Amino acid sequence: MAVRSPQTGIDTRISKLLNGIPPLARFTRSRGVPFVISWAHRLSGLLLVVFIGFHIFTLSALTTPAAYADKMKLYQLPVLAFIEWALAIPVLFHALNGGRLILYESFRCRRDDVLLDWAAGLTLLYAGLLALLMLLGNQNVSAVFFWLIAGSAAAAVAYALYARIGRTAHAWSWKLQRITGAFLLVMIPAHFLFMHLGPQMARDAGLVALRMQNPWIKLVDAALVLSAVYHGAYGLNSILNDYVGSKELRWVGSGAIIFVMTIAAVAGLRLIVSI
Amino acid sequence: MKESYSLVFNIKRFDPEKGKSWMQTYRIEAGRILRFTDVLRKINKELDPTLAWNSSCEHAQCGSCSVVINGRPMLACELLVENAVELFGTTVFTIEPIGVAPVLRDLVVDLEKAYDRVHRIRPFIIRPSQNPNQGQEYRISPRAMEGYLEATRCINCFCCATACMSSHRGFMGPNAVMASVVRIMDPREDATDERLQQLYSEEGVYRCHTSKACSHVCPKEIDVAHFVALAKEGEFS
Ligand code: SF4
Ligand code: SF4
């Protein structure tokens, strides 16, 4: 009698945790732990798409420093600082779990039992580090140096994946989704980390504008915006294709996604170019 | 160990004549080693002869008795009462038809329609490759066969397709993907490009998100997600 598949009856710390939460245990039992993790990946992805839009909107105030300073004052409120910190958890989870999926799908790494625990552990470690940095609020680093390291590392990870899947018969849209994912796996956590090294990093409009005048930073930011927008748009479209049966509705939905995400990309790029 | 259990079966029913569906509760005493198909038969005999359900071989070989029990797609013919109680930690079971094809009546679905997606990938050798040993049988090395032997245990019960994270609207389904991958891995098949074109289409592997629910529920213990991922890896292109 086969009620437990050896392949997915994975015995990880994270599965013990999920099995202990009754509403989730129903799904871990009926569909398995990776199923619950996949839904968490999907939901955190949706949250991140909303966040990207919100983030670009906030940054658009950089063109008028007084308005930007006003907005940034809001972020000093403890509750908003907490939300900002808490957002790091879905961000990092999405990034690391995405890394796990890339390893599974493109590098035949089937050790989910190990990788899931690592993804969860590193997410918590990162959140702790971020909390510490936010509380200390006294770190500083040369922006060009930081982004030289982070940008190169992200490009190397993306290239490693490209080398693996670039020549396959897959659709380019899919390959690009994976490659941007690999790039963002380094870039997004690095972005969060950099912004919270010290309060001045993100909140001082003058300093942010000065940093963004550097061509390397401009390049890195443009790559970040384009990758995030493409990755998010592909993810949204994927959800649409999964659950909407009617072809016509799918066309309308895809059109709407492309329209909205293009606006976000143009707004982001305009900001980068105009500063 | 209890010899028998007082079970509550909440069964999703559907009357095609009236186009009406409803949940019906049956309370029944059942011995610990009865299978769910036996319990359904007992319900027919003792409580309600109108309840429709499906089975054929009742040896987990034909895949016709798949139902969703407490959210998990399973073969009713191999689930013993005592194992179900242990697995779900309850004696109350909600039983629904699998969701990959239209329901004909109660727990019976239109398996012809479900099979359509498997037929679309043509689960046979489309273009036979040249036999290296002309005039003799086609010999496949044990090593090559080892790579896909596990997948040939599939009985097309559609439990994996029912559990899949992606819906059934736009996805050919894990068992159909796996059936195509098996043929690609079979050295006797020459139509790799044709197959890849189908696998790399919108209804193919892009609808899979490696949630591995397929592997989790497969009654034949096939790691279905592994075969779907082999197609994603692009090794065949
Ligand atoms: S792969 Fe397993 S669950 Fe899916 S149809 Fe085949 S036997 Fe059933
Ligand atoms: S791994 Fe892919 S095919 Fe299998 S259940 Fe998950 S989404 Fe469906």
The architecture (CATH level 2) of B4-109 comes to: Roll (3.10)
Q: pLDDT grade, residue A63 (50/70/90)?
A: confident
Q: In whole angstroms, give the CA distance from residue B67 to residue B56.
A: 14
CB B221 within 8 A of CB A7: yes
Ligand 2 atom with least separation from CA of B224: 4
Q: With contacts defined as CB-CB under 8 Å, which chain A residues touch B216? A: 5, 7-9, 31-32, 34-35
Please report the beta strands in B51-174, taking only residues with DSSP state E, as ranges in sequence order. Answer: 66-69, 72-75, 92-97, 103-105, 108-109
CB neighbourhood size of B187 (10 A)? 15
Identify which of A31, A106, A244 has the shortest CB distance to residue B216. A31
Compute the distance between CA of residue B52 and CA of residue A275 in angstroms, rounded to an integer: 70
Question: Could you state, in order of their start, the residue ranges of all structural domains in chain B?
Answer: 4-109, 111-233
- Ligand 1 centroid to Cα of residue A228, in Å, is 36
Chain A environment of B202 (Cβ under 8 Å): 241
Instruction: State yes or no: pLDDT of B1 exceeds 80.
Output: no
For A5-42, how does the pLDDT look when each residue is reduced to its tens digit (9 = 90+)? 434 455 677 888 888 888 898 899 899 999 999 999 99
Whether B96 shows a pLDDT value over 90: the answer reads: yes
Is the pLDDT assigned to residue A62 strictly greater than 80? Answer: no
Inter-chain touch B88–A29, beta carbons under 8 Å: yes
For residue A166, what is the DSSP state?
T
Taking a C-beta distance cutoff of 8 angstroms, is the pair A228, A52 a contact?
A: yes
Contact flag B166-A42 (C-beta cutoff 8 Å): no
Give domain B111-233's CATH architecture. Orthogonal Bundle (1.10)
The answer to whether the Cβ–Cβ distance between B211 and A104 falls below 8 Å is no
When pLDDT is averaged across residues B213-224 and rounded to a whole number, the result is 97
pLDDT at A9: 52
With a pLDDT cut of 70, the percent of chain B lying above it is 100
Q: Do A32 and B215 touch (CB under 8 A)?
A: yes
For B140-193, write each residue's pLDDT tens digit.
999 999 999 999 999 999 999 999 999 778 899 999 999 999 999 999 999 999
Is residue A209 within 8 A of residue A62, CB to CB? The reply is yes
B175 lines ligand 2 (CB under 6 A): no
What pLDDT was estimated at residue A8? Answer: 44
Convert the pLDDT of each residue in B36-66 to its tens digit. Answer: 999 999 999 999 999 999 999 999 999 999 9
Residues of B in contact with A34 (CB under 8 A): 210-213, 216, 225
Q: How far is the CA of B58 from the centre of ligand 2 (A)?
A: 27
Atom of ligand 2 nearest to the CA of B173: 3
b/e burial code for range A8-42 (CB count within 10 A of at least 16 → b): bebebebbeebeeeeebeebbbbbbbbbbbbbbbb
> Residue B169 is nearest to which of A106, A170, A243, comparing CB atoms?
A243
pLDDT at B100 over 60: yes
pLDDT, average across residues A39-51? 96
Q: What is the pLDDT of residue A105?
A: 96
Report pLDDT for B137. Answer: 92
**How much is the pTM?**
0.92
pLDDT at A152 over 50: yes
Min Cα–Cα distance to chain B from A133, Å: 34
Judge whether residue A2 has pLDDT over 50.
Answer: no
Residue with CA at minimum distance from ligand 2 atom 7: B208
Distance CA B170, CA A247 (A): 10
Q: Residue A165: which of B78, B215, B234 has the nearest Cβ?
A: B234
Tell me: pLDDT of B111 over 80: yes
CB atoms within 10 A of CB A89: 15
Q: Is the CB of B156 under 6 A from ligand 1?
A: yes
Q: Where are the alpha helices (DSSP H) in chain A?
A: 13-19, 22-31, 33-59, 65-74, 78-106, 112-136, 143-165, 172-195, 199-203, 205-212, 215-243, 247-274
Which pLDDT tens digit goes with each residue over A173-227? 999 999 999 999 999 999 999 988 877 777 788 888 889 899 999 999 999 999 9
Instruction: Give the residue-averaged pLDDT of B124-134.
Output: 94
Q: Name the residue with the closest Cα to ligand 1, atom 2.
A: B218
pLDDT tens-place string over residues A66-121: 888 887 777 778 898 899 899 999 999 999 999 999 999 999 999 988 999 999 99
Residue-level pLDDT at A206: 84
Q: Please give the pLDDT value at position A11.
A: 65
CB contact under 8 A, B213 and A174: no
pLDDT at A1: 40
The answer to whether B74 contacts chain A (CB < 8 Å) is yes
Ligand nearest to the CA of B199: 2
CB of B154 closer than 6 A to ligand 1? yes
pLDDT of B5 higher than 50 = yes
- For residue A101, the chain B residues in CB contact (below 8 A) are 209-210
Contacts of A170 in chain B (CB under 8 A): 200, 232, 234, 237
Percent of chain A with pLDDT over 90: 66
Interface pTM, i.e. ipTM: 0.92
